[in-house]
């Protein structure tokens, strides 16, 4: 009896260690998927998700709901986004049965030449464009993106769409623990930037978790946008305040830069991965890196290797290194550089890259240009409506609250996306006036047999293409459900592109979340990989899937953040 008792005890302990206390699904899953009939929203904040559902219930479209959620996130999660930043989106139009892409990224000041930029950088005793202050500010494209998307796909008036965010800005909302954490970091880093303390602190302090935060200045700005559309932001009082404040503090953005800004409707591009079509927007973003990665991995027996095996991880890391060399060399504003998109996302190119991977050794890579994209924060959201429309939308300031420069009385900060330009002669992403910088934020979309299947994204600098490809392999190769695919342990390789002229001698570093087998990690080390751990590097996932068999929507959200998926 004593022996039987000990055996039962060991089994019980083993089940607990392996997650056997979970009734269904993978042991690492934090929760189940969300199901609903009429609509679904997945965002990084519960109140933003609720705002999206409020708009859907009022008869709004998926685009209306996405704008409402984004406006709330700019208020509630300013550490990742806001109307001082940029926006990209992919929209499935159920009537046309077609995908539409929108590049809402802003351009550099037209009055600032490369020569003058180099002088400014040298005067700051730096070698690259700085992260903060007025120099890295490019024209914010978010509001133009809202109005362009709303003009084509909106149903409700824009002021109604923005009403939830305006209400929360006036009445206040409780700050969550994670956002409070990042807000405090921003307050330390950006305290000396013009207007920051007045806009984002009270008596010099960032809000604590649970503290009620209001932003009446932002409410007034959103009201102007709601009543006047894009002109309420890019013309008149708001535009004048932005431009004059930037110039007062040594920057170059003018009212002409703001008024002339227009985003771009653009056709998404795709590749097939095991007969499923994966869609991304072409550069100046990094979306095609997802397609390159998947093309390489398609030639390997990923399913046979198994999730989290040494073979799986090693080949994925090596594929990423090769793809990111393409990224550093070629990805840039296509109005200034002839990016060979078709060739880069071709199966032939993938075959060549795949043949460069040594199954028994981690490779060292040679730098191809500056690309400081292992940092940064963003918000991603997805919405679907009862008509079958789906929106994949991503929006960001780049580094947390961006440049830290906050024009007084407006309630938001301006992005520092211009930091991502390089100053190296001949480089595709070299700074130029009126140019869009290389961009990290990428919305994802997947179709099956010409029908919409998945609207998803994973925010977080250089993490994004790696994590998007990782999630898709989880779904397609390993049969995980929508929530499990995001909850599964992630890896992120850091360091493929170092500052100009350097050579990688150690192959970068592999950051691993907990959950990978110790024997696998040991084998990776033997193959030559440097293993590390970096909190906050693994991104934020949101996803909405169409279950055509049952006629329902499926939602999933990031367990590492304040994610919340809900439907109605």
Provide the pLDDT confidence category of residue 6 given band limits of 50, 70 and 90.
Answer: very low
12 is catalytic: no
* R_g (Cα) of the chain, nearest Å: 23
| Helical residues (DSSP H) of 419-497, grouped into ranges | 463-476, 482-487
Q: Structural domains in the chain?
A: 45-265+398-420 (no CATH), 266-373+442-567 (3.60.20.40)
Task: Inform me whether the pLDDT recorded for 500 exceeds 90.
Answer: no
pLDDT at 365: 64
Give the pLDDT confidence of 423-482 residue by residue, as tens digits: 999 999 999 999 999 999 999 999 999 999 999 999 998 999 999 999 999 999 999 999
Q: Provide, rounded to the nearest whole percent, the portion of the chain with pLDDT above 90.
A: 88
pLDDT at 13: 39
Give the pLDDT confidence of 515-525 residue by residue, as tens digits: 999 999 999 99
Task: Inform me whether the pLDDT recorded for 260 exceeds 80.
Answer: yes
Q: Give the Cα-Cα-Cα angle 99, 43, 473 (nearest 5 degrees).
A: 65
Ranges 292-296, 364-368, 395-399: which has the least confidence: 364-368
Provide the pLDDT confidence category of residue 536 given band limits of 50, 70 and 90.
Answer: confident
Contacts with 536 (C-beta within 8 Å, 6 or more apart), sequence order: none
Distance CA 373, CA 379 (A): 16
Mean pLDDT of all residues in 480-491: 97
Contact 127, 71 (CB under 8 A): no
Per the prediction, the chain carries an average pLDDT of 93
Q: Is 208 helix (H, G, I), strand (E, B) or coil?
A: coil
The encoded tokens of residue 143 equal 């509001």
Contact 459, 80 (CB under 8 A): yes
Give the pLDDT confidence of 84-140 residue by residue, as tens digits: 999 999 999 999 999 999 999 999 999 999 999 999 999 999 999 999 999 999 999
**pTM summary value:** 0.94
Beta-bridge partner residues of 491: 512
Q: Give the Cα-Cα-Cα angle 291, 295, 301 (nearest 5 degrees).
A: 135
43, 134, 199, 378: the active-site residue: 378
pLDDT at 52: 98
Provide the pLDDT confidence category of residue 20 given band limits of 50, 70 and 90.
Answer: low
Contact 174, 212 (CB under 8 A): yes
Give the pLDDT confidence of 368-414 residue by residue, as tens digits: 444 444 555 789 999 999 999 999 999 999 999 999 999 999 999 99
Q: Provide, rounded to the nearest whole percent, the portion of the chain with pLDDT above 70.
A: 92
How many other C-beta atoms lie within 10 A of the C-beta of residue 520?
A: 17
Mean pLDDT of all residues in 311-340: 96
The encoded tokens of residue 475 equal 């779904």
Task: Inform me whether the pLDDT recorded for 25 exceeds 60.
Answer: yes
Give the pLDDT confidence of 218-248 residue by residue, as tens digits: 999 999 999 999 999 999 999 999 999 999 9
- What stretches of 426-529 adopt beta strand conformation (E)? 444-448, 451-459, 491-494, 509-512
| Structure-derived torsion over alpha carbons of residues 289, 95, 148, 141, reported in degrees to the nearest 10 | -20
Element counts in the chain: helices (H) and strands (E): 21, 19
pLDDT at 8: 35
């Amino acid at each position: 009896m004593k022996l039987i008792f000990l055996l039962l005890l060991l089994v019980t302990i083993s089940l607990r260690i392996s997650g056997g206390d979970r009734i269904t699904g993978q042991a690492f899953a934090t929760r189940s998927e969300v199901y609903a009939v009429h609509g679904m929203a997945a965002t990084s904040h519960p109140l933003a998700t609720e705002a999206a559902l409020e708009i859907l219930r009022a008869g709004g479209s998926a685009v209306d709901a996405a704008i409402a959620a984004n406006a709330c996130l700019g208020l509630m999660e300013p550490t990742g986004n806001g109307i001082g930043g940029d926006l990209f989106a992919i929209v499935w139009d159920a009537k046309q049965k077609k995908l539409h892409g929108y590049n809402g990224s802003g351009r550099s000041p037209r009055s600032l030449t490369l020569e003058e930029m180099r002088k400014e950088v040298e005067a700051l005793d730096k070698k690259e464009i700085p992260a903060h202050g007025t120099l890295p500010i490019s024209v914010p494209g978010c509001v133009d993106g809202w109005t362009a998307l709303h003009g084509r796909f909106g149903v409700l008036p824009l002021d109604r769409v923005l009403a939830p965010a305006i209400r929360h800005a006036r009445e206040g909302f409780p700050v969550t623990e994670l956002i409070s954490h990042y807000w405090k970091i921003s307050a330390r880093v950006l305290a000396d930037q013009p207007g920051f303390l007045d806009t984002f602190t009270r008596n010099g302090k960032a809000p604590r978790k649970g503290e009620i935060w209001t932003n009446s200045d932002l409410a007034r700005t959103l009201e102007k946008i709601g009543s006047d559309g894009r002109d309420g932001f890019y013309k008149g009082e708001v535009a004048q305040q932005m431009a004059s404040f930037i110039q007062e503090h040594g920057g170059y953005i003018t009212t002409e830069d703001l008024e002339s800004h227009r985003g771009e409707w653009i056709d998404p591009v795709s590749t097939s991965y095991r007969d499923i079509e994966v869609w991304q927007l072409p550069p100046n973003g990094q979306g095609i890196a997802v397609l390159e990665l998947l093309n390489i991995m398609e030639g390997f027996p990923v399913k046979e290797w198994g999730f989290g095996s040494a073979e799986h991880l090693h080949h994925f890391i090596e594929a990423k290194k090769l793809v990111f060399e393409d990224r550093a060399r070629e990805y840039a504003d296509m109005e200034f550089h002839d990016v060979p998109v078709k060739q880069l996302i071709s199966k032939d190119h993938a075959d060549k890259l795949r043949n460069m991977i040594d199954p028994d050794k981690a490779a060292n890579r040679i730098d191809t240009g500056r690309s400081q994209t292992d940092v940064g924060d963003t918000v991603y959201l997805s919405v679907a409506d009862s008509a079958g429309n789906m929106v994949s939308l991503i929006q960001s300031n780049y580094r947390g609250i961006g440049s830290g420069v906050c024009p007084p009385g407006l309630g938001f900060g301006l992005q520092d996306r211009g930091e991502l330009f390089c100053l190296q002669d001949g480089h595709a992403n070299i700074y130029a006036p009126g140019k869009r910088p290389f961009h990290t934020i990428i919305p994802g979309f997947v179709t099956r047999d010409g029908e919409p299947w998945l609207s998803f994204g994973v925010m977080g600098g250089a993490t994004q293409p790696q994590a998007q490809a990782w999630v898709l392999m989880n779904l397609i190769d390993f049969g995980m459900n929508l929530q499990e695919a995001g909850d599964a342990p992630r890896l992120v390789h850091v360091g493929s592109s170092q500052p100009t002229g350097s050579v990688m001698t150690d192959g970068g570093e592999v950051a691993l979340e907990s959950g990978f087998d110790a024997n696998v990690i040991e084998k990776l080390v033997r193959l030559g990989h440097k293993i590390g751990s970096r909190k906050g590097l693994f991104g934020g996932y949101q996803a909405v899937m169409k279950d055509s068999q049952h006629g329902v929507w499926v939602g999933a959200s990031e367990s590492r953040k304040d994610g919340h998926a809900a439907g109605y």
